[in-house]
């Protein structure tokens, strides 16, 4: 597997994290490490989830969540399910009726292996701070 890394790493991403990604021996280990890297490198990510399809099924199940202690990943799982159903990226807001500065954005994208849809990754992005 060829995984490139940026020339400068965020403070909490060290070489050990990249090594863990490259040397992962299971889907869960790979997805957990990959999600940690994405959630650290992308600004304002407040949560993330990777869900994969089971063998011979159309049902997805979470295999990685960030942060690990996060208890409510239901909105991200719904986004991941929609991504798998539509077979394309999806962007939703947490509260369509609220003011934009309070709305979290949910971004989901399919996980493809070759031409096979294997699941979806979803990130929750915190609202952009208001400009005063």
The confidence score (pLDDT) of residue 127 equals 80
Judge contact between 16 and 37, C-beta under 8 A: no
Residue 58's Cβ-side half-sphere holds a number of Cα atoms within 13 Å equal to 6
* Contact between residue 73 and residue 65 where contact means Cβ atoms under 8 Å apart: yes
pLDDT tens-place string over residues 14-60: 788 888 999 999 999 999 999 999 988 899 999 999 999 988 777 89
The answer, as to whether pTM is greater than 0.85, is no
pLDDT in tens, 72-98: 788 999 999 999 999 999 999 877 677
Q: First vs last Cα of the chain: how many Å apart?
A: 46
């Amino acid at each position: 597997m060829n995984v490139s890394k940026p020339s400068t790493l965020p403070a909490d991403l060290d070489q050990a994290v990249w090594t863990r990604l490259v040397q992962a021996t299971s889907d869960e280990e790979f997805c957990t490490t990959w999600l940690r890297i994405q959630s650290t490198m992308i600004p304002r990510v407040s949560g993330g989830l990777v869900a994969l399809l089971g063998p011979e099924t159309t049902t997805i199940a979470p295999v990685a969540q960030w942060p690990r202690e996060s208890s409510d990943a239901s909105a991200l799982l719904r986004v991941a399910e929609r991504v798998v159903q539509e077979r394309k990226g999806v962007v939703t807001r947490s509260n369509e009726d609220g003011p934009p500065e309070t709305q979290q954005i949910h971004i989901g994208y399919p996980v493809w292996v070759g031409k096979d849809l294997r699941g979806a990754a979803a990130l929750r992005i915190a609202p952009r701070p208001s400009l005063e």
